[in-house]
Structure 1
């Protein structure tokens, strides 16, 4: 099977020798909460929408919704409190997880599997609040062996950490051990870290271990610039590798810190385009509140810990949120224009950083994301280019009025009601 690869000093992915744009959906709780029938329905729709990767937590997601299914990777030493006995494995769990992965692969998806979410590792923000299922260090070797045996021939990406702040030597020791053991067993499979929201720090010990960077701009409404600020940081601070915003705000997720409000279609679309045009051009991940935890009517949600998100709608409502189609449209647009790597440009002269601009290396195509309608002034003579404005809500296209003088271009306001993408083609 062709697998996703990264060439040295490249900011993009390849698969089977061709450019590959990583468009993932977040389904952290797949192995514990989803029936096979539901899984088939979910995958079919996401395939229609253009997704090609599914992000899943190998171990139970700590804030998954309640479920009547009885899938547990390990026996319990306290079943009521759901405390694991880290000795042996429940083979049926891994058979079920393997089957779900095989179904996804048969439908054309690649897998991005989280190895150790932060609550399973000591001295992370989550394990400090919920320490009952921290994995013993001596069990890591056995666990990694099981992960490799179950999944590696399916050629997944291994996301070594999940939502992790890597602040202590003990935490680093866990993740380095997991990464090193997997690298020995599956040397050709890509590895990365999924780090804590709004964080841009990768410990030096991991820079040469991981193959690409994941950040999460997250679900905090007080930080709307995070999608592009983090992309800029990773682009300028670290050696050249692919960059992905692997957890932007999820559609209809309640604002973090129990702040009243939710993110809607415009918000998640804004986060995607801002990320991709600011350095994180290798791909983007979508998330829907109610899908990542696979919520069902009448079931519990969350644990009252961490970011404290408001309740989700059920999965069969959440799967129909319109933002997923916008993410597929983003991928389609880049493929339609034959775009692989995008280089961020600082040529917009408007007094805001929220308008994002990027171009191909040869400057044959340029893109400007305009979240709020205004005249756009560009520090470039664009007289040799065709300029179109695409309404990102309804996908209508307009031919704008353009004025060029003194080596600068003014692209005049469109008359669409929401955000727009300006496409500039030589």
Structure 2
């Protein structure tokens, strides 16, 4: 082991990230919940649309050059949040061979004096996280960090409440002054289990740093609101809608891609809190998750999950790719049938298309936006489903498969409205015309009716 000794918390508070003062970037504005409690804004009141990527194993698998490459790419593609595990396992080791913990004890972090990346004994696991946070900040990205992945708590009773509190205090103290830190408590785990530990971690993080947002990342097809909506430490809700198409019993009787239903339910809960899909089905992952013979989710699917959940009232959306979420490198043991290298998969079609949903949402008055299904006059089921959102002077309706959209007019201001099509694949607009803002009106997208022929109908008031 290359470490010299463990440092006290007082030393950790002065730890730097390996950048000189001249190289350090300006701190990003803190993110907070908007006044209407449904969305996010920056501390100076500007709308913040969460466009996330799942780079779960960034801290453990990427070296400094990899961190730079990955985060620069995500900035270029419009992402502003990356979800990442601080500890995937209690025996976590990073790309430099640095262990995070002494004897797999959550309460005993291995740290060393200094942080010079060219001096191996100095540059430890936590220094590498500091460095990654600085690179993220330089690229305008917030890191939504899972303190410890859920399986470490749910299997084997390896974590006590006392250890969890001590570890959460270590994280809170070390990252107290980081403005681009968001906390994802839990980590793909059942929220109704080990609640004493999850509440202890959440409470410690929030009490120590009240200006850093905290949520809970739950198990598949569940929502943080199921168990923690009223927790004082939970600032916003997150659900995981992926990754299976049907129930695990393979009965194929239940449609399991209706992520908009989670948003509709959370929207009406009191107290009001933002919500978003933090883990839909990933691009490039099999429909059956572990059944690698099944077809893989595509760019069409990740667009559908995005527009369905955001138009339903989501405060953002998190994209994922099978290879990128596991940062798959040559020589790694693949999970979920993956064969792509992460640095190739960052250019998957879906990743490049996510920015168009963010651009569209921020084009209009964002904070007045509400979901409004009454705009849709002829609703469909499954992939025929159409979802609608509006502000005072605009309305947006999404169709996944090019099915004709029949609109109940008069839901936005003005005697006349201008209609246009928006292409989620490239962000291009095509004007349709000007129409009376009353009665019902049919709008037919171009192309044949088929999955992936998706369009957004834009209606704007003529005043």
Q: What's the TM-score, normalizing by structure 1?
A: 0.86
The equivalent of 2:196 in structure 1 is: 173
The equivalent of 1:159 in structure 2 is: 184
1:230 aligns with 2:262: yes
The equivalent of 2:455 in structure 1 is: 420
Q: Could you say if the C-alpha distance between residues 395 and 184 of structure 1 is closer, same or farther in structure 2, counting changes exceeding 3 Å? A: closer
Deviation at 1:342, TM superposition (A): 2.7
For the residues of structure 1 that align with 2:151 and 2:131, how far apart are their CA atoms?
Answer: 26
Pairing 1:35-184 to 2, within 5 Å after superposition: 35-60=63-88, 69-76=96-103, 84-86=104-106, 88-91=108-111, 92-122=124-154, 127=155, 131=156, 134-155=158-179, 156-168=181-193, 171-184=194-207
Q: Could you say if the C-alpha distance between residues 415 and 311 of structure 1 is closer, same or farther in structure 2, counting changes exceeding 3 Å? A: closer
Moved more, 264-273 or 335-344: 335-344
Deviation at 1:68, TM superposition (A): 5.9
Q: Could you say if the C-alpha distance between residues 275 and 61 of structure 1 is closer, same or farther in structure 2, counting changes exceeding 3 Å? A: farther
Q: Which of 357, 376, 386 in structure 2 is aligned with 1:355?
A: 386
Q: Could you say if the C-alpha distance between residues 358 and 7 of structure 1 is closer, same or farther in structure 2, counting changes exceeding 3 Å? A: closer
The equivalent of 1:246 in structure 2 is: 278
The equivalent of 2:337 in structure 1 is: 310
SS of residue paired to 1:203:
helix
1:410 aligns with 2:442: yes
SS of residue paired to 1:410:
strand
Any runs of at least 4 consecutive aligned residues in structure 1 with deviations exceeding 6 A, and if so which? Answer: 401-406
Asked if the contact 1:67–1:299 (Cα under 8 Å) also holds between the matched residues in 2, the reply is no
For the residues of structure 2 that align with 1:405 and 1:158, how far apart are their CA atoms?
Answer: 44
1:30 aligns with 2:58: yes
Q: Could you say if the C-alpha distance between residues 257 and 320 of structure 1 is closer, same or farther in structure 2, counting changes exceeding 3 Å? A: closer
Asked if the contact 1:32–1:70 (Cα under 8 Å) also holds between the matched residues in 2, the reply is no
The equivalent of 2:301 in structure 1 is: 267
Deviation at 1:285, TM superposition (A): 0.9
The structure with the largest alpha-carbon Rg is: 2
Deviation at 1:145, TM superposition (A): 2.2
For the residues of structure 2 that align with 1:225 and 1:265, how far apart are their CA atoms?
Answer: 15
For the residues of structure 2 that align with 1:323 and 1:32, how far apart are their CA atoms?
Answer: 25
RMSD value over aligned CA atoms? 2.5
For the residues of structure 2 that align with 1:335 and 1:86, how far apart are their CA atoms?
Answer: 41
1:278 aligns with 2:302: no
Moved more, 177-186 or 267-276: 177-186
The equivalent of 2:16 in structure 1 is: none
The alignment of Structure 1 onto Structure 2 pairs a total of residues equal to 398
Q: Could you say if the C-alpha distance between residues 149 and 207 of structure 1 is closer, same or farther in structure 2, counting changes exceeding 3 Å? A: closer
For the residues of structure 2 that align with 1:256 and 1:103, how far apart are their CA atoms?
Answer: 35
Q: Which of 373, 376, 380 in structure 2 is aligned with 1:346?
A: 373
Q: Could you say if the C-alpha distance between residues 403 and 154 of structure 1 is closer, same or farther in structure 2, counting changes exceeding 3 Å? A: closer
Could you tell me which runs of 5 or more consecutive residues in structure 2 were left unpaired when the two chains were aligned: 1-26, 112-123, 247-254
Asked if the contact 1:402–1:411 (Cα under 8 Å) also holds between the matched residues in 2, the reply is no
For the residues of structure 2 that align with 1:158 and 1:356, how far apart are their CA atoms?
Answer: 30
Deviations, residues 364-417 of structure 1 (Å, cap 9, x unaligned)? 110011101122111224861110012223444333478879711111332377
Asked if the contact 1:254–1:311 (Cα under 8 Å) also holds between the matched residues in 2, the reply is no
1:374 aligns with 2:410: no
